Amino acid sequence: MHTIEQLNDGRAVYLNGQRINVADVPIFRKTLALNNQYYALQRTHQDVHTYIEDGQRYDIAFKVPLTSADLKQKHRAYQEIAESNNGLLGRTPDFLNSAMAALAVRSHFLGHNEYTNFAANAKHYAEHVKTEDIFISHALQNPQLDRQKAINAIPSGYAGVHVTKRTMEGITVSGAKMVNTMAPIADDLLIFNPPELLLEKGDTSYAVAFATPLNTPGVKIICRKLLDHPVYTGYTEDDFPLSNALDEIDAYIVFDEAFIPWERVFVDNDVEMSNRFFMDSGMFIHSSHQDEVRGITKLEFATTLAIRTAKLLGLDGFLGVQEKLGRLTANLELIKGTIARSEEEGRLDDFGIYTPNQQALQAVRSTLPEYYEEALKVAQHLAAGSMVGVPGFKEFNGDNGPILEQALGTSKATAKERAKFLNLVFDLTTAGFGQRQLMYEYYHGGDPMRIRSQHYAGEDLRAGNEMIDRIMKS
């Protein structure tokens, strides 16, 4: 856990062409404070958020789950963290910490090369993260330059991160990763390749996985345009209750001959191992569990918002509106039930880790974004004209304040409450902030289309096949 000032540690963060101090950017400050709820809850809800191992107390995310009950306890903790940010911070520390728990146990397959033992490096790193409870951020997606070409066939050298030098001490890397979240306020950066778009044979120099502090020389964090409305715009959190309160940030990460010592390297020069890293380490499935639990909270937030919009505007008496709202709550039930099933129908893996049911989790992962979008759409259409026209909140303090207070107050809300609520709906459904959150929800866990294309192959359809076989044989 850091104060924002501690993040002025030499890291190279860029914003619209300027290298900046993280502490100088208000939205980074606020986001860090929100993210730190992860640490705060360890103190205030110790029973839920921590556990003891060998006499030491750790965050519950690091616990290696051995039973369904363990997963359910972790669920509770993840949920409380998510509720502190309305499910809108997708990458709080518990996300990758849950992955570290698996990596520590399963790292053996990573093997070694002539310079170092990758398996041991990974295990030690996972333990380091746990002991220090540091905040790691990861970047896996390679920049999408031409999806019809192999990475190594793109000449710029920026279609991924690749090794340019290899010495006794470590590797030197250059290149880029697309869309990292939270890097400006994290401690370490974890780099690997996605399991979805597999590297090809010729991509060996890109076949690398490692971790490194964010202030490593040669690492550049180039942020996208911010989506908040800072003080000088005249707008406050009353105007933009979400976009002025937090930003996950999406940074383009550049490596410019950055040196990584062997002890932080987990894969090198090995396409097969690079392609296996995320799945076979157990990092994927265990972090997915955290991720989808968080997703419930975001979905519940949007669902409730839609229902309250209908009530505020007196639209909840219409049968057609009720039906739409009932769809949303039914969707929420389907998600909650399926995550519960992933916890109850898990399995012990070869290392004795109780692992959530992947078919259930992936069903959620591919479906939740559509349900979330449906909730946004309902709220957006209910609020449409009312929401779009809300004036700046300072108007209530100006000449027109008394008029607006009288004109826009109803039996359900004062004019200011109505305005702030509609601003909240705007921010989540219509503002760039909210639509980026929607895109994030769709793609942060891989393309839903590809998840589906693999899902049917893994489904247990014995009962269905037996019924069909019986008919075929009759």
Instruction: Check residue 231 for interaction with its own copies (CB under 8 A).
Output: no
Smaller CB distance to its own copies: residue 10 or 111? 10
Q: Which stretch binds its own copies (CB under 8 A): 37-45, 124-132, 206-214, 378-386?
A: 378-386
Among 10, 111, 217, 314, binds its own copies (CB under 8 A): 314
Among 260, 363, 379, 445, binds its own copies (CB under 8 A): 363
Among 113, 224, 259, 280, binds its own copies (CB under 8 A): 224
Smaller CB distance to its own copies: residue 270 or 441? 441
Instruction: Check residue 256 for interaction with its own copies (CB under 8 A).
Output: yes
Question: Is the torsion defined by CA of 95, 130, 353, 454 positive or negative?
Answer: positive
First-last CA distance in the chain: 66
Among 122, 173, 176, 260, binds its own copies (CB under 8 A): 176
The total number of residues written for the chain in this structure: 474
Q: How far is CA 167 from the centre of its chain?
A: 35
Closest by Cα among 458, 343, 287 to 66: 343
Shortest Å, Cβ 340 to its own copies: 5
Among 21, 337, 348, 414, binds its own copies (CB under 8 A): 337
Q: Which stretch binds its own copies (CB under 8 A): 54-62, 108-116, 194-202, 387-395?
A: 387-395
Bridge partners of residue 451, in order along the sequence? none
Among 89, 129, 339, 353, binds its own copies (CB under 8 A): 339
- Give the span between the Cα atoms of 428 and 234, in whole angstroms: 20
Residue list 433-472, contact with its own copies (CB under 8 A): 435-436, 439-440, 442-443, 449, 451-456, 458-459, 461, 463-468, 471-472
Report the alpha-carbon angle 315-377-440, nearest 5.
Answer: 145
Shortest Å, Cβ 264 to its own copies: 24
Residue list 92-111, contact with its own copies (CB under 8 A): none
Among 27, 49, 429, 445, binds its own copies (CB under 8 A): 429
Residue list 5-64, contact with its own copies (CB under 8 A): 14-19
- Give the span between the Cα atoms of 385 and 404, in whole angstroms: 17
137 touches 183 (CB < 8 A): yes
Which tokens sit at 427?
A: 């921010």
Radius of gyration of the chain (CA): 24
Shortest Å, Cβ 238 to its own copies: 9
Widest CA span in the chain: 83
The two beta strands, 188-191 and 136-139, are parallel
Residue list 178-197, contact with its own copies (CB under 8 A): 178-179
Q: How far is CA 175 from the centre of its chain?
A: 23
